[in-house]
A and B are shown apart, each in its own frame.
Chain A
Amino acid sequence: MNFEEFAAKPLLAAAGISVPKGILADNAKAAAAAAKTLGDVVIKAQVPIGKRGKAGGIQLAETPDQAFSHAEKIIGMEIGGLVVAKVLVEQRSDIKREFYAAVLNDPTSKGPAVMFSTEGGMDIEEIAVNTPEKLLKADVDIRLGFSLKQANELVAGLDLDGANAAIAEVLVKLYYVYQTNDAELLEINPLILTGGGDVVALDCKFVMDDSAVKRQAGLAASGTAEKLTELETQGEAHTIKYIELDGDVAVLANGAGLTMTTMDVVRHHGGNPANFCEIGGEAYTKAKIALEMVLAKPGVKSLVINFCGAFARCDVMMEGILGAWEELKPDLPVFFSIAGTGDEEAIRMLKARLEMDPYPDMDGASKAAVDAARLAGAGS
């Protein structure tokens, strides 16, 4: 779960990391009023996505009038497919130097990593590619946490204009915020040194671990839910993972790997998947709702259903499919491949109730679905 800058910065402030004074505004008038209070300001689009500056979503304003006109342009602007609904009006800082600081989950060390670079302002991928030697990393034993001693060692020897100790302290506080809030990524970019010698977090990116949202329920309420389509929202309500795509071959399978692969095989045979929809794990009893969802997407021309039972039983999934099919009676060509736990019973049910046989493998079923979609496309 992503947190926008305005929702993430208070966490830093609460831990004692300096952030600029700011006021959130959802209209130009409010932005102008905020500028009147704060003086020289920066108007920043609030969307949980990078490259806001390049898209024109960050503007300087010296007067309330300027703040008004910038905010008017930024609110409603689209950045990376997201419409800007709010701006953060923030007191402008006197930037002397820009650094990069972050704490993240590192799959290689299987623990947290504290990252620091003197090359702030760019994104971490650019730093890693362009100047890898300038990206410092400290592996942390999560049982012990990140100590001031480790932080001091990380930045020792760097020319930070005398701010080494202050920056080490920020890193320790940053780790604390990461750890207490179940972050998977907590990044300050840039972390600045002001002309007056203060260390200030000018931006903050906070991504909460989706698996921790339940135990962080209070904080999660101020996070930004992923932008979902109507069908995707419906899927989430039923704990079925459904992702809407732009093709016309509907896909339904059990398990993330198998579902992805069904999409791949559809693509391999020249087709375009209409969705990702999986009913793996405990969701395998929800085949009926899942089928209703994949059928609900407009423009779907064929359907491939691919079951490989392990934990999920093919016969239980088939019962759900047949129940929905008999109820909805969709006029849509459908192709099955069925294997694994409960497959023989599932195949018998398919034969008895839809008078159909499955294909011997998913390649056959997927190719048939691609051909059928093409035929339907040519006919319409």
Chain B
Amino acid sequence: MRIVRKHHRVLVQGITGKQGTFWTERMQDYGTQIVGGVNPKKAGTVHCGVPVHASAVEAMDAEGGFDASILFIPPLGVKDAALDAIKAGAKGICILTEHIPVQDVMYVMAAAKERGTLITGPNTAGSVTVDECFLGFMPAFNQRIFRKGNVGVMSRSGSLGTLMCQNIVSAGFGQSAFIGIGGDPIIGTTSKDALEALDQFDGTDAVVMVGEIGGSMEEQAAEYAATMTKPVFAFIAGGAAPAGKKMGHAGAIVMGDKGTYKSKRTALEGAGVTVLDTPSHVGDALKDALGS
């Protein structure tokens, strides 16, 4: 699944680490149904109130199994952890880790494709299904950032996606769901995939897309946007960035005339998407489209 719901059973791989523990507790508080964790060295113990398994395959064999897995795993361990979850039969995997070797990522993508496992990330801050559950390290519980509403939001960047969500709430709107797709060049859920998932998600009347320079994902998403009846708003970060430099995200780089702000803006506008000059403009744009 691209959007996790409260009835989904979620496994946390790397649950016993500092970040894994901290964010598992936040997810549990918010309503995410965490059913277990994985740490081969601590199998058989209980952590954050759930059983710790030796592997995702074992967790799947336990009563009730799981639907989706979230990874709090360091870069060089991600390949094995994700392959474990794929082998177990996870429907979805969320990979937060940044700086995973790209060949490891491609290996995971190939295995996931074969098994029909949907991957979100790597290098994402996670996702939020407002008032239901969240995955990753998103401030879902902050009422000034996430409030139940009818705007679907997707973002390559966690911090900028969070800012956009706050602007949406300040303007008197709220979100149905937020999908952080991640800042890497090769990711499981692309802009187009996320746009499609939000378009089809119940209670979504408009979609806000936060993209950035680099690659051609926004151009591909524009092709889908052209077929939508719901209004789509986009902000593309990096218009002021110099060419040939990686702007913090591995995927955010302009090479020659590829991946430019202009190319993305032109494609999106051509598809009927309203492109915002700054993230602060989202409130007025939503008011025009949805009424205040």
Contact = CB atoms under 8 A, between A and B. Distances in A.
Contact of A143 (B75, B101, B107, B145): B107
B186 interface: yes
Contacts of B105: 110
Nearest to B75: A211
Contact of B111 (A143, A255, A267): A143
Contact of A257 (B113, B160, B217): B160
Contacts of A255: 157-160, 248
Interface in B130-185: 137-139, 142, 144-145, 155-163, 166-167, 170, 183, 185
Contacts of B121: none
A340 B157 CA distance: 14
Contacts of B161: 257
A133 to B, nearest CB: 20
Interface residues of A, number: 54
B159 A308 contact: yes
Contact of B240 (A110, A264, A308, A311): A264
Given A105-B102, A125-B256, A243-B245, A267 B240 contact: yes
A57 interface: no
Interface string A100-116: 00000101101110000
Contacts of A214: 76
A343 B188 CA distance: 32
Contacts of B156: 257
Contacts of B100: 211
Contacts of A308: 159-160, 162-163, 166
A142 B99 CA distance: 19
Contacts, number: 182
Interface in B75-104: 75-76, 98-103
Interface string A269-281: 0000100101011
Contact of B103 (A125, A141, A179, A309): A179
Interface stretch (B27-35, B53-61, B226-234, B275-283): B275-283
A261 interface: yes
Nearest to B248: A256
A362 B163 contact: yes
A341 B240 CA distance: 27
A268 interface: yes
A210 interface: yes
Contact of B278 (A108, A254, A264): A264
Given A245-B242, A263-B240, A257 B103 contact: no
B241 A263 contact: yes
A184 B76 CA distance: 17
Contacts of B12: none
A276 B241 contact: yes
B237 interface: yes
Interface string A235-251: 00000010101000000
A260 B159 contact: no
Interface in A1-22: none
B102 A212 contact: yes
Interface in A56-90: none
Contacts of A312: 159
B247 interface: yes
B180 to A, nearest CB: 9
B272 interface: no
A339 B101 CA distance: 32
B160 A268 contact: no
Interface string B235-269: 10111111001111110100011100000000000
A198 interface: no
Given A257-B157, A257-B160, A260-B237, A111 B101 contact: no
Contacts of A209: 101-103
A357 interface: no
Residue with the highest number of chain B CB atoms closer than 10 Å, among A211, A280, A361: A211
A310 B186 contact: no
Contacts of A339: 144-145, 162-163, 166
B59 to A, nearest CB: 24
B194 interface: no
Contact of B167 (A108, A184, A341, A361): A361
A54 to B, nearest CB: 15
Contact of A362 (B102, B106, B279): B279
Contacts of B137: 310-311
Interface of A: 105, 107-108, 110-112, 125, 141-143, 179, 182, 184, 209-212, 214-215, 241, 243, 245, 253-261, 263-268, 273, 276, 278, 280-281, 308-312, 339-341, 343, 361-363
21 contacts: A111-B106, A125-B257, A209-B102, A211-B101, A215-B101, A243-B242, A245-B242, A257-B161, A259-B248, A260-B160, A260-B240, A261-B160, A263-B241, A264-B237, A264-B240, A308-B162, A308-B163, A310-B137, A341-B142, A361-B167, A363-B280
Interface of B: 75-76, 98-103, 105-107, 109-111, 113, 125, 137-139, 142, 144-145, 155-163, 166-167, 170, 183, 185-186, 188, 210, 212-213, 215-217, 220, 235, 237-242, 245-250, 252, 256-258, 277-280
Minimum-distance CB pairs A-B, first 4: A257-B157, A255-B159, A256-B248, A257-B160
Given A105-B106, A209-B103, A362-B280, 8 more contacts: A142-B110, A257-B237, A260-B212, A261-B237, A266-B240, A268-B277, A308-B162, A340-B166
